[in-house]
Structure 1
Amino acid sequence: MSAKKVAPGSAPAPGAPFYTPVQEPPVGTALDTSGPVPTLFTPLKLRSLTLQNRFAVSPMCMYSADDGHLTDFHLIHLGAFALRGVALTIVEATSVTPNGRISPEDSGLWTDSQIAPLKRIVDFIHSQGQKAGIQLGHAGRKASTLSPWNRGSRSPYKDEIAPVEAGGWPDNVWAPSAIPFSPKYPHPKEMTVEQIDGLVESFQQAAERAVKAGFDTIEIHGAHGYLLTEFLSPQSNKRTDRYGGSFENRTRLLIDVIKAVRGVIPESMPLLLRVSSTEWMEYTGEPSWDVPETIRLAKLLPDLGVDLLDVSSGGNSSAQKITVSPYYQVDIAGQVRDALRAEGEGGMLIGAVGMITSAEMARAIVQDNEEEGMVEVEGEHGQKTKADLVLLARQFLREPEFVLRTAQKLGVSVSWPKQYGRAGWPKDEEL
């Protein structure tokens, strides 16, 4: 059979199981680099992975999976971001065990049948010249809860708990200690050492499946009050064995998981970690996980093979007190980044997340000030570089084309999807 003839510029994307023209360069790539280009639109390298810009889709729970299997909804939802120029799209929190899902409708990767739906998504993202990641985690004591639209006055069920008749498992919820997140959540069981060992193995097996699905990177979910966070925190971890008490003991499970995952993924694949940098419980005067402990942990990560620390916060206590402002998490990312560079650990990159809603803010967070001088953003003078990558969630839900809009607002000419090329905004047009 003779090869199909295609017009110049219509060569099919390599490796895709369907036809789409190759996007070269990938959408969201700066086209004119003869002059200064904001760091936001310059490449970022993590091991063998190169991103053409500094945008990533932060993992977002959609509560739309079928027994852990992603669906056509996820293909459209996630594919939309890759199509419009996001360099790295990270699949939502994906549980390594059935009882580690936040809700019965969460993503999972505890069985081989869940690989194919993920690979379909990865194949589409790759067909657009973009990169795909997946966040692996376990919900711990925040598992077996109802999806957001099944809670409150609209729900026939009690509190936040997903009962058995709604697909939940309220009697099989794990935690480091038998302390519920709140009275409205399931009462968890303290994990046995055997269950902890099994959990590490489950992370390892899920990572192997992620590699088979074709993902370019994996993020371990150690944030937002889910199981790994619960072990880190002296507020939720009251154990007296080798997994509780001291900093070394409370970080033991996370470190074991990192080692297990790093040990089964390719050397060329970058490994990411998300943490809650503080529980926002300092006001109590009691020990809690805080920024100094995050920095202490961060200094250990490069030697463990972690390439980027994704700095979030909160979620481990229903009594947390947060003073919210546009930079309330971004500033902490900057503190961690500065501390690492002061220790000579500049090789591990930092990701910033939370309330990144404008082109100017995204630019300022990652701007390399050593190259282009200080920047002024939203009235703040002398803004320091806070991170190396920006991860956005709700803003991409509002504006899936946020990368393209940001480029237009910053005056950066970038590539568009070939199929959408006629829709580009005229140069210098204000949006």
Structure 2
Amino acid sequence: MSSSALFAPLQVRSLCLKNRIVISPMMQHAAPGGFANHWHLVHLGKFALGGAALVLTESTAVSPVGRIGRDDAGLWDDAHVAPWKEVVDFVHAHGAAIGVQLGHAGRKAGSKALWEGGEALSEAQMAEADPRWVRIGPSAVAAGEGWSVPRAMSGADIEEVVAQFAAAARRADAAGFDVVELHFGHGYLAASFLSPLSNLRTDEHGGSREGRMRLALRIAREVRAAWPGDKPLWCRLSVVDGAVGGWGVEDSIALVRQLQDCGVDVIDCSSGGLTEQTRALPVPRGLGFQVPFARQVRSATGVLTQAVGMIVEPRQAEEIVASGAADLVAIGREALYDPYWPLHAQAALQPDPQFGDWHLRHRVWLQKRQLVLDRLKGAAD
């Protein structure tokens, strides 16, 4: 292969990504008090060494109320900025851009980590961890079995959340992040406002699709105003929310058109998550199972899209970008399995026996390794 679409650079506002590989947000539940620490430095830093163009943090709460789990990362306080800056500086120093995914869990706040089972915490457990931590949502509709009924948000609550997203974006800039991604998927706060199943409001933030989109669009506009104009803004959507009668592809296309007007540059196309208990739409979880959503959104709106979900092979990723299904591919679990996946993918698509794109502290040892392997192969032949 003489050239690779996967390893072509991409310019988004002032940010030039060296390739099309993004590390997807992955919840770590390792930030007591919301503070990033050495775990995040190592966890995210290794992906920079591994050759990814952009590393995204886990969903980072804009409010202590908006945490998914007890020890979620946060940007709700100015004190959170300095620890994140240490991580950001390391990633930059090793050749990658870094973005923060800002989120509010809403009615899905308060759950155990996956390795603890992932179940909803009781309201008493949430209050014991932090008296401020409660479930809120568009309406008094629980996320499913085992979840308490959230408090229906008042107008003042909505104004506060919009302001919290904007304030977190300003802190993200102070920490040096290159990208902000708004988490509007997976059944969390913004997604619960979008769905007619979870949003039963009759005021301006409910009712019609336009009303249900209002909170997401207000957040996008306020974050765009708070976030420097030369820095790009991503948005993760559940293109379908996973529930029959819920939010669907045509709804997402309508929302994306308005998000573009708000200054959103890239749509990170995911799916599902409104609730675990509703009847799921038939989205088979095979290789690249969400790529068709990225293709549909991109085709209908012209927006840059990011495909995510079971992208595991270099030639699979190459085809996604080369075919125009998406402009970027995001890997998560595959990157945990192999933090050097981008560099290994590059070797598969554009072989370089001199390891020129590896960090020099690794390159010299790999060159020596290759000399030994070549010598052994020559002796065997």
TM (normalized to structure 1)?
A: 0.81
Offset from partner CA, 1:139-163 (integer Å, 9 cap, x none)? 01110111122337xxxxxx52151
Residue number among 351, 358, 377 corresponding to 1:416 in the alignment: 358
Q: Hey, what's the Cα distance between the residues in 1 that align with 2:98 and 2:177?
A: 5
Offset from partner CA, 1:80-100 (integer Å, 9 cap, x none)? 000111110111100100010
CA contact (8 A) 2:138 2:198 kept: yes
- Supply the AA of the counterpart residue of 1:312: S
* SS of structure 2 residue aligned to 1:67: helix
Report sequence identity in percent: 40
Residue number among 216, 227, 235 corresponding to 2:197 in the alignment: 235
Q: Hey, what's the Cα distance between the residues in 2 that align with 1:229 and 1:358?
A: 30
Question: 2:310 matched to 1:355?
Answer: yes
* SS of structure 1 residue aligned to 2:32: coil
* SS of structure 1 residue aligned to 2:95: coil
Q: Hey, what's the Cα distance between the residues in 2 that align with 1:194 and 1:139?
A: 18
Match of 1:401 in 2: 340
Q: Hey, what's the Cα distance between the residues in 2 that align with 1:193 and 1:171?
A: 19
Offset from partner CA, 1:332-384 (integer Å, 9 cap, x none)? 111111112xxxxx3x31110000011111111111xxxxxxxxxxxxxxxx3
Match of 1:161 in 2: 121
Higher helix share: 2
- CA 1:169 to 1:313, structure 2 compared with 1: closer, same or farther past 3 Å? farther
Q: Hey, what's the Cα distance between the residues in 1 that align with 2:309 and 2:126?
A: 34
Match of 1:386 in 2: 325
Q: Hey, what's the Cα distance between the residues in 1 that align with 2:126 and 2:289?
A: 38
Question: 2:49 matched to 1:110?
Answer: no
* SS of structure 2 residue aligned to 1:133: strand
Question: 2:319 matched to 1:364?
Answer: yes
Shift of 1:265: 1.4
Match of 1:329 in 2: 290
Question: 2:143 matched to 1:181?
Answer: yes
Match of 1:266 in 2: 228
- Supply the AA of the counterpart residue of 1:151: G
Match of 1:17 in 2: none
Q: Hey, what's the Cα distance between the residues in 1 that align with 2:14 and 2:133?
A: 44
CA contact (8 A) 1:330 1:352 kept: yes
* SS of structure 2 residue aligned to 1:107: coil
Question: 2:243 matched to 1:301?
Answer: no
* SS of structure 2 residue aligned to 1:263: helix
Shift of 1:135: 0.4
Match of 1:9 in 2: none
Aligned-residue CA RMSD in angstroms? 1.9
Match of 1:311 in 2: 269
Shift of 1:326: 1.5
Shift of 1:186: 2.9
- CA 1:137 to 1:171, structure 2 compared with 1: closer, same or farther past 3 Å? closer
Q: When the two structures are aligned, how many residues end up with a matched partner?
A: 363
Residue number among 31, 35, 60 corresponding to 1:69 in the alignment: 35
Shift of 1:172: 1.8
Structure 2 unpaired stretches of 5+: 375-381
- Supply the AA of the counterpart residue of 1:200: V
Residue number among 114, 117, 129 corresponding to 1:151 in the alignment: 117
- Supply the AA of the counterpart residue of 1:161: L
Offset from partner CA, 1:207-230 (integer Å, 9 cap, x none)? 000000000110000011100000
Q: Hey, what's the Cα distance between the residues in 2 that align with 1:89 and 1:80?
A: 10
CA contact (8 A) 1:101 1:138 kept: yes
Shift of 1:173: 0.8
CA contact (8 A) 2:201 2:207 kept: yes
Q: Hey, what's the Cα distance between the residues in 1 that align with 2:145 and 2:190?
A: 21
TM (normalized to structure 2)?
A: 0.91
* SS of structure 1 residue aligned to 2:186: coil
Q: Hey, what's the Cα distance between the residues in 2 that align with 1:151 and 1:55?
A: 30
Q: Hey, what's the Cα distance between the residues in 2 that align with 1:171 and 1:80?
A: 32
Q: Hey, what's the Cα distance between the residues in 2 that align with 1:185 and 1:67?
A: 23
CA contact (8 A) 2:270 2:309 kept: yes
Structure 1 unpaired stretches of 5+: 1-34, 153-158, 341-345, 368-383
Identify which range, 50-59 or 161-170, moves more after superposition: 161-170
- CA 1:51 to 1:141, structure 2 compared with 1: closer, same or farther past 3 Å? same
Shift of 1:301: 2.2
- CA 1:126 to 1:170, structure 2 compared with 1: closer, same or farther past 3 Å? closer
CA contact (8 A) 2:2 2:350 kept: no
Q: Hey, what's the Cα distance between the residues in 2 that align with 1:274 and 1:106?
A: 18
Q: Hey, what's the Cα distance between the residues in 2 that align with 1:182 and 1:388?
A: 35
- CA 1:402 to 1:304, structure 2 compared with 1: closer, same or farther past 3 Å? same
* SS of structure 2 residue aligned to 1:109: coil
Q: Hey, what's the Cα distance between the residues in 2 that align with 1:281 and 1:269?
A: 34
